[in-house]
Structures are given as structure tokens and as C-alpha cells.
Structure 1
Amino acid sequence: MKKILFVNMCGHGHVNPTIGLINELMNRGEQVTYIAGEEFRNKIEKTGAKFKGYNNSFDIANLVNENLNLENSESLLNFIDIFKKIIEILFNSKEKFDYIIYDSVFMLGNEVGRVLKIPAICSITTFAANERTNCLSSLFNKIEPKIQELLNSSEYINFVKYSQEKYGIKCPSASNVIFGKGMISIVYTSKYFQLCGESFDESYKFIGPSISDRKEDISFPLETNDKKKVIYISLGTIFNNSIEFYENCFKAFDNMDAKIIMSVGKNIDVNTFKSIPSNFIIRNYVPQLEILKHADVFITHGGMNSTNEGLYYDVPLILIPQFIDQPAVANRVAELGAGIVIEKDKVTPEVLKQSVVRILSDNNFKINSKKIGKSLREAGGYKKGVDEILNLINKKSSLFT
């Protein structure tokens, strides 16, 4: 039995794929201590892992909603604050760990491993990136002036000095956020779906999405005698506050002979909608994996988790990418012929309806989504991920003794 330190510092899209991995590690006798934002305490503790939380002052939703207006660098300064909180939690702990698994955004992960003299494993919840495929390059080019301003700020300089003097941590360059990798890197997609998959060496382990039974029930019937098509609509957990988008969906599909399942997120009062078409079922939350087992089309924001989950169940996608890696994910789906991309500022009822009709009438979308889905299912999932982790630890632990 070995003790694992798991570090995560972002939102649901970075935490959810790790849940199956944690469960499997613990099923095989490992002990897990998981550091993340306090909002994830309940989710992590349900796995049986020990949870150590911090108050999360970084809100990516606010950054997005400001349309990357970084004249006020408060959000990025909060990011530094989280780094400081995490290293204080783990270095002030009296626990001794055998290895660390860290989210790729926590760019100090390898350094923590070096200082603690334990193996470091990177968890990558979007596409892996290298010199051939940098799906975040356009974003970083856009905000590079503010990044440089941050790196030159007294707050960051003091943090670098503090980390070095107190803990012996050398802060890596900001590019490690994009290109960072561990002794091995667990990537939650297939090599086939990965951009330029063949350009990655064997240290990258493409395990597919971490699909596990969430033991959730659907509170409404999906299977009917008339076998109507099922269209599922969800914009994830961050970009789901657009009343205008949902109203466009009403107009697009109110006369369509299909059952429409719409998840609008916890921040919208369903009673806000004045007139809901009779073929719509609207909820603040639905069990997404269960819905996808029945869906014929999935309209999504193109987040990596939602995209992987839809394709895992062979569902063609209509993607409306919003931010960060989503345009790259959406374009990859379209490139492989498994979906249609709509730019977020070009969404209209007409475009939505035409896109759904096109997918339902052209069987190639289904054929191509099945091809990706097969690659995702055959990648092995969280069990394969744990196999790779334990194989590394069994081989490498002697290097740190």
C-alpha cells in the first residue's frame, strides 16, 4: 500500500475525470490524499479519499464573462494565491507520500516531486500539447501582454522568492502550463482523437475518458413507443447562463418530431422561461451519461469531458465552443467528420435546426462518431490509467530510495 498525493486546482472539467481513477487506485489498496478547492470536498470524500481543501479565489467564469478583459489582473493574481495555498498545505503536512499525481495546470507538480524525492505523474484533462499541436496558442497570444505583466509583478516575484527560499521549489516557466509533462502523463482521450496523436512519445498514456458508473437515475422516461429522436442540449458548468441561447433552441425545435432534453445549470430558474414547447424536458441537472446512452444528437459547448462522453456513446455532436481549448476540440470533431461546429456569435434558430437536420439525415456523422467512440472505449479508461501508474511506481520507486 502506497500513499498518493493528488493535486488539482481547477474546476469540474479537471476534477471529474479523476474520480474513476481515484476509486480504482483505492480499490487496489492505495491511499489517496486529494488537494482541491473546498467546493469539491463532498465529491472527493464520497470516494473515501482524504480531502484537504482551500478557499478557491480564482473564478475562470468571471474571467471568461469579462471577455478576457485583463486590465485588472486580480483573477491571475488569485491564481498565484492558489499556488501558494497548495504548497503550504502539502509542505506543512506531516504525511509522507510515495508519489504525486497533479493536474497539468499545477505547473509546480514536477518540482514538488523533485523536492519530495517522489515520482510525479501529470493528469491532462484536455488535449495533450507539444510543439506540433498547441491548441491554446491563440489564447496565450491574446493574453501574453498581461501574462508578462503578471510575471514582472511584485506579487509573482515575491512568490518565486518565497517558494525557493522556504521550500526549495524553482518555479518553471509559464510555458510549462502548456507543455508540462510528468514521468508519465495520463491523458483522458484516445490517441486517435488526440491532435497529432502519433507525435507523442510513450510517456503519454492515452487512456480514454474516465467513465464510471455514477449510479444516477433518470427522473423522466426516454424510451417511448413512437421511438422519437432524442436531442440532448447542455453547455456544461461554466457557459450555461445564456437565456438567449435556450430561447433560440425553443424556436428551433418546437415543431420538431423529437424529444428535447435540456440541462440549464444550477444558476437558472426554469420558471424564467415563459413558454416551454411541449416536446422539451428542462432540468437544472440531468445525469448526462444516462442521457447520452439514448441521445441521437448532442448539442454541447465542446468541453473535453462532454465531447469525450458524447463520442464514447457514439453520439454525433453539434459544438458551440466558448473558450480556452473548446475551439480546438470542436474543430477536431469536425475534422474527423463526427459533428458540426457553430460559432457562438452565429447561433440562430435556423442554424440550429439546419445543423440537427443535417446530422440526422447524413449517416456519415454516426459512422464517424462510432469510429471515435470505439477508439475511446478501447483505450482502457481509468483501469488502464491505474495499470500505467502502478507499473511506473513499481519500476521507478527504487530511484527515490
Structure 2
Amino acid sequence: MAQQHVVFVNIGAAGHMNPTLPVVSELCARGVAVTYFVEAKMREVVEAAGAHWKLLEGHKELTEEQKAKYVPAGMLPDEYEFPMNMLAQAADQLPGLLSELRSLSPPPTVIVYDPFLPHPLVAARILGIPAVSTLTMPGPGVIARPAPVTEKWESNEVVRRASKEIRDAYGVDVFENGGLMEFYSPQGSIVTTIDGLFVPPVQGMQRDRFGHFPFTCVGPLVDTKVKRVSHPSACDAESKPSMESSELPWDVIDSAESKRLVLVSLGTVANSHLWDKKLSSQALNNGLENCTGKEIVQFVFRTVFEALQEEEDLLVVLVVGCQPDVLDGLPTPPSNFIVRKTVPQIELLPKCHAFLSHCGANSMHEALGFGIPLVGVPLFGDQVPNSLSVAEAGAGIAFASPLKTLTGPGLRSAMRQLVDADPGNPFRQAAVGLSKRMQAAGGVQRATEVILETAMTAMAKQSALAGA
């Protein structure tokens, strides 16, 4: 049987990239050829994992050439920006991606891709090879949208032009079995959660279009030995583990035996490309649609300062991201705070007693994987149901609509409950219970096996057909 060649295609975002890197490393360790298509800023971590890097341009803005091709005259920018721009860029990139894939040697045997992207799935179908999507959320149901939103997006003229181009050129209707940011593979998806937290396709578009597709829960994909992306905009300067580790006062952290260590981080999206933009429809489910990333991040930080500044038994590590004005107008960080742009999260979490998080899927699963209870302060999207699922499991406390519910006294009370050193602390016990279930899900090894088994099954079928 021919050598396996696994191709990854992804977007340049930390939450989408990081779970794939340990799988890349494991595949390479098994002697599998791996090629990774992603933005240039991710090249270092891709090559550190052992893969061959190839360029796939990002999706943040349409080029002038793409605007001329897909955007009708007079259309306002907010009508063709994310997520509508993603399909236009996919259609524009598809010929080049196909050409690159056809030039690879040995030929690719399976494509592993992020379901935000439709073109890897189209390319796999054209090349006659299987595809596996990597779902770095607890399941399709966490991003289910009202039918009117789906209809509005899919009737958008930019989306119509791009989908028609793909259909006319390749005979593939991208919306037959998917939707914007929901292009799952009919051969299967790897989901970085456990069965107990999985949210399946819900009634409506999801169940109609891909409700019959297989989804395999493998648990968190974490390997502390594999270099990770700490923050997309800091990728070149601050994602290096050695630099991150030297920035934290590990001697202070390790010697603070009488203190309870708390990590506070709100992820990498609100404090990067959404910093000066309203969260808009992505935050309708928690009342933050009129907030910019800066406004909600600063609101949370201000509340954290108020809640924890006099808690002398707490040592708080606050991750502020890379915006230069992130602390402008806020009080001076209290003396029991350590403030850093980025931190090596999976190195720090095992030392923590609680984690205040936006409950992005990766952060949530990484914390629970180490048995760390969470205070959930979701900002948009899947973060809201993620925070609620943690609370329902007894492993944390959620402030699902933070502008209405998050106060200094309320946060102080929640944090005191989570960091309580009593061996019977129910939040810690629930988190440890989830940790054990995650370890049993198989993680990196199981994800690797799913990818290789999918490729081998397809290769065996092709060999049988050739010999028939």
C-alpha cells in the first residue's frame, strides 16, 4: 500500500491551530508525510511540529481583486465582510489549492481541515480522496443559527457568486451538506470534546444537511512538548515557549505555596481583530452585540481588579493580549496580580486552582483536562453554551450575560467557592471527574487513528475497485 500523506488545511487562529499541532507531531513520529496549508505567520509552529508548510492566505479581508470579482457595486463593507468573505476567498483560492495538492509527492491520501473552510472538502471530492474535519468546539449545535440568519447569509450576493463559481467549475454545491462555517466532512469529523459534553446537530438546517454525518469525540488534543500558538498577532515574537516561560516569574509562582493561583484570560479573538469592532450578531445570545472587543474586555478586567484586589491569599495571572491600549483608562493592576501579554497556558494551568475564561472550547477543555474549575465569562458564539455546560456539569460558575450578571461582589464570591482548599470542594471534584473522562477519550492517539483509518479504508476501497 502506498505511503500515507496527510494534508492539513486550516485558518490562522490559535483556537483552530493548536489542537491540530500535537496530531501533526504524532503523525510525523509514525513516519507519515504531512503537509500543512495555512497562513505564513503559522509557519514556525507548523514546521516545529514536523510538517512541511505551504501558504494558504488568510480570510480577514478581501483583496481589491476579490472585491472586483465578487462584490456588487455599492455594497457596504459590513455586507461582504466575515463570514461572507470566507466563501469568496475559498472560491478564489480553490484552483491554486488544487494545483498545489496535485503537485505533492507522494500524492495526498487524506485531507484534514477546519470546517470553517469549504475548499479543502471540495478539493478532496475532486481528487477522490477522503476528508476529515477537525471541530474544535463541543459540537455543531453550539453554533446553530436561527433560520433567518442562515437564509440571509446564503442569499447574500457575494456568497451567491462564490458558490455559483464553485458549482459551475467543479459540479459541487457547497450548501448541499453544509453552511457558512459549517462544512463538515461526510467521512467524519474529529471533535475535541467528550461524549458527555458533545452538542450534536440541532433540528433545522444542521440536522437536514449533515445530521447523518459521523462525529467522533476524542477529548482535548494537548501535548506540552509541542510548540503552540499563544496569540495570532504575537506569533512571531511571543509564541516561543522559551520566551513565554522566561517572561513569567516561575520562582514566585512555584514558591507561593500558601496562595491560591488564579489564571484570567479572555482568549485571542476579542482582543485582536474584534478589538475595535462590535461583536454584532455573534453575541446576540448574551447581550453583547453592541460591545466592541475592547469594551467588553476592559469591563471584565475592571471587574476582576475590583473583585480580587484585596484577596491577599490569591495570586492572579492576568493575560491581557497584545493590544497596546488594553489597560488604558483602567485602574493600576493590584499588587497580587501578574500581568502578561501571553502565557504558556498548558504549562501554567496545572498549577492553578481556578481559571476565569471566556470559555472558548480549547481553553475550557484544557482547564477541565487538568481538573481545574472555571468561572465562565463568555463573549460570543459557542462560548455561551460552553460556559453553561461547565456550570451544569458542576465544574464551574457561569456569568453568561456578563453586562447584567458580572459584578465585583458576585465574582469574588464565585472565585472563593472555586479556590476553596477543602478536599470535598464540589467544583474541583466535578472538574477532576471530567478530566478522567477526557483522558479516557483517547486524545491525540485516537485522533491520529481516526485520520489514518479513514485514509486506509479509502485506499483499500480504491485498490479493490482497481482489481475488480
The answer to whether the 8 Å contact 2:86/2:117 transfers is no
CA contact (8 A) 2:187 2:213 kept: no
Secondary structure in 1 aligned to 2:11? coil
Kindly indicate whether the alpha-carbon contact (under 8 Å) linking 2:28 and 2:34 is maintained by their aligned counterparts in 1: yes
Instruction: Encode CA deviations 1:202-221: one digit per residue, 9 max, x unaligned.
Output: 94322111111246336313
Partner of 2:443: 381
Q: Equivalents in 2 of 1:161, 1:195: separation in Å?
A: 31
**Other-structure match for 1:367:** 429
Q: How does 1:2-401 map to 2 (within 5 A)?
A: 2-9=4-11, 11-58=13-60, 72-93=79-100, 94-95=103-104, 96-129=107-140, 134-137=141-144, 139-141=145-147, 143-144=149-150, 146-150=152-156, 153=157, 155-173=158-176, 174-175=178-179, 177-178=181-182, 180-195=184-199, 203-213=214-224, 214=226, 216=241, 217=245, 219-220=248-249, 221-224=252-255, 226-240=257-271, 241=294, 242-256=297-311, 257-268=313-324, 272=328, 274-342=331-399, 343-346=401-404, 347-361=406-420, 363-401=425-463
Q: CA deviation at 1:303?
A: 0.1
1:177 offset after TM fit, Å?
Answer: 4.4
Contact 1:184 1:205 in 2 (8 A): yes
User: Residue 319 of structure 1 contacts residue 330 of structure 1 at CA under 8 Å; is this kept in 2?
Assistant: yes
Determine helix, strand or coil for the equivalent of 2:196.
coil
Q: Is the 8 A contact 2:316 2:338 kept in 1?
A: yes
Change over 3 Å in CA distance of 1:271–1:178 after alignment to 2: closer
8 Å CA contact 1:320, 1:344 repeated in 2: yes
* Matched-pair contact (CA < 8 Å) for 2:24–2:49: yes
Secondary structure of 2:351's counterpart equals coil
SS in 2 for 1:324: coil
Q: 1:41 to 1:233 in 2, by over 3 A?
A: same
1:48-96 CA deviation, whole Å, 9 max, x = no partner?
Answer: 322222332427xxxxxxxxx9953333342123212441232122223
CA distance in 1, matches of 2:191, 2:442: 11
- What residue identity is the alignment partner of 2:155? E
**TM-score normalised by the chain length of structure 1:** 0.87
Cα 1:105–1:195 shift into 2, 3 Å: same
Gaps of at least 5 residues in structure 1 are 60-68
The 1:269–1:290 alpha-carbon spacing in structure 2 relative to 1, beyond 3 Å, is: farther
CA contact (8 A) 2:91 2:119 kept: no
State whether residues 295 and 315 of structure 1, in contact with CA within 8 Å, keep that contact through their aligned partners in structure 2: yes
What is the aligned length?
383
Instruction: Work out whether residues 235 and 300 of structure 1, in 8 Å CA contact, stay in contact via their aligned partners in 2.
Output: yes
- Alpha-carbon contact 2:353-2:418 (below 8 Å) kept: no
User: Residues 270 and 239 (structure 1 numbering): CA distance in 2 closer, same or farther, change over 3 Å?
Assistant: closer
* CA drift at 1:305: 0.2
**Which residue identity lines up with residue 50 of structure 1 in the other structure?**
H
What secondary structure sits across from 1:121 in the alignment?
strand
Check 1:117–1:181 CA distance in 2 against 1; reply closer, same or farther (3 A cut): closer
Quote the Cα distance in structure 2 between the aligned partners of 1:176 and 1:236.
23
Unaligned runs of 5+ in 2: 62-75, 202-206, 228-240, 272-293, 464-468
| Conserved? CA contact 1:112–1:169, under 8 Å | no
SS of 1:394 mapped into structure 2: helix
Distance 1:269 1:356, change over 3 A: same
Question: Is contact 2:118–2:183 with CA below 8 Å preserved after alignment?
Answer: no
Give secondary structure in 2 for the equivalent of 1:126. Answer: coil
Please tell me the residue identity of whatever aligns with 1:48: G
Determine if contact 2:7/2:111 at 8 Å carries over to the other structure. Answer: yes
The Cα shift of 1:337 comes to 0.7
Q: Which residue of 2 aligns with 1:63?
A: none
Identity level (%): 26
- In structure 2, what is the Cα distance between the partners aligned to 1:314 and 1:85? 44
Contact 2:395 2:428 in 1 (8 A): yes
Letter in 1 for 2:320: V
Provide, for residues 245-278 of structure 1, a one-character-per-residue CA deviation record: whole Å limited to 9, x for no partner: 2122111111102101111111145774552211
Structure-2-length-normalised TM-score: 0.75
Query: What RMSD, in angstroms, separates the aligned Cα atoms of the two structures?
Result: 2.7
Q: How far did 1:16 drift?
A: 1.1
Q: Secondary structure at the match of 2:253?
A: coil
